[in-house]
Amino acid sequence: MRARVVAFVGLLLASTAATAGAQSRDPAGAEVLYRAGREAARKGDWNTACAKLAESQRLDPAPGTLLNLADCEEHKGQLAQAWQHFVQVQSQLPKGDSRLAYAKQRADAVDKKVPRLTIRLAEGSPPATKVTRDDQELGIPSLGVPMPVDPGEHVVVARLDGHMDGRAQVTLAEGETREVTVTLGPSVSNARGAQGRHVVCDRA
């Protein structure tokens, strides 16, 4: 059976949001999924393992599940998520728990491998410009900050009504730190005008 942290669960149940969430919990289903996830992990089937463990955690959150999920995510190369979960586990375990040192060790090790991407919006961009990284919208406080991301390719888009999207692509390796500035595209009317002039030149 998974180790449960009674104090942590008690804190969750003390809040209104957690109480509402507790009403939809399924400890029995979570246990079955946890065991299935562990079995898939032993076989090296990380996609299945992560899916089962994530669903188990959703149905009945437990530090032991989260610790195994973080390990699974690291094996899949989802380093940013794995690091976050290893750190999160530490806040859920009570002092003296033997898993605390392990979770900290793993978090520190993954932290060294997590790439960081700093995204900036070109100077002079309209305040209403929206910036997304891999389709996730970033608020203004996120810009200019080295944010943890997974290794691989990332697409940054600047978007504003009446303008063409500005795009930037960057590929990061483990432990790499990069910075990218994204520029909003030209206004739609200007872009159409440029296309029209281009057509005229071709026909001449």
The tens digit of pLDDT for each residue in 42-95 reads: 999 999 999 999 999 999 999 999 999 999 999 999 999 999 999 999 999 999
pLDDT digits (tens, 9 = 90+) for 166-186: 999 999 999 999 999 999 999
CB 182 within 8 A of CB 117: no
**What's the DSSP call for residue 141?**
G
Residue 11 has pLDDT above 60, yes or no: no
CA distance 161 to 159: 7
Residue 197 has pLDDT above 80, yes or no: no
pLDDT digits (tens, 9 = 90+) for 107-150: 999 999 999 999 999 999 999 999 999 999 999 999 999 999 99
What pLDDT does residue 9 have? 37
CB 119 within 8 A of CB 156: yes
